[in-house]
Amino acid sequence: MNNIKASITKGNSNVRVAQAVDSTGEPVAIVPIENVLVINGFSVNPKASPHEAQQAGDAITAEAAKSARLEGVSKIWIVVSDQYDGPNVHTIRVVQEEVPQGLANHRIGFYSPVPPVTYLN
């Protein structure tokens, strides 16, 4: 039987902390949770020059950063190909968990099963 229970608390900022405790209330794991803006996929006009494409990417990133600041998001993740090599590149491994949304008929409390974990990178 699983005696581990988890809860999430939110402070004054957008920082949330998840905590899992055992049956005696002893913490087993404490995890900070951050809001992250993810840019996944892009399409560049084939008529654009490499310089124009770079400028477009920079402009979109700047606009996304502006939006992120307004929403209290601390990081932007831009998903790029393995061949991309640019400034401020930090390779990370991500475990992606899909969060199923309600069905189209909006039946409250009825969700589809959670899909398996997908590993990126």
- pLDDT digit string (tens) for 22-47? 999 999 999 988 888 888 877 889 99
Q: In terms of domains, do 55 and 7 share one?
A: no
Q: In terms of domains, do 7 and 48 share one?
A: no
Contact indicator for 35, 14 with CB cutoff of 8 Å: yes
pLDDT of residue 85: 74
Stretches in the chain below the pLDDT threshold 50: 107, 110-112, 114, 117-118, 121
Contact indicator for 76, 39 with CB cutoff of 8 Å: yes
Q: In terms of domains, do 41 and 25 share one?
A: no
pLDDT of residue 93: 82
Q: In terms of domains, do 87 and 106 share one?
A: yes
> How many domains, the chain?
2
Q: What range defines the domain where residue 7 resides?
A: 1-33
pLDDT of residue 99: 79
Q: In terms of domains, do 109 and 89 share one?
A: yes
Q: In terms of domains, do 39 and 89 share one?
A: yes
Q: In terms of domains, do 51 and 108 share one?
A: yes
pLDDT of residue 30: 94
One-letter amino acid of 15: V
pLDDT of residue 29: 95
pLDDT of residue 17: 92
Burial class from Cβ neighbours inside 10 Å (0-12, 13-18, 19+) for residue 100 reads: exposed
Q: In terms of domains, do 47 and 63 share one?
A: yes
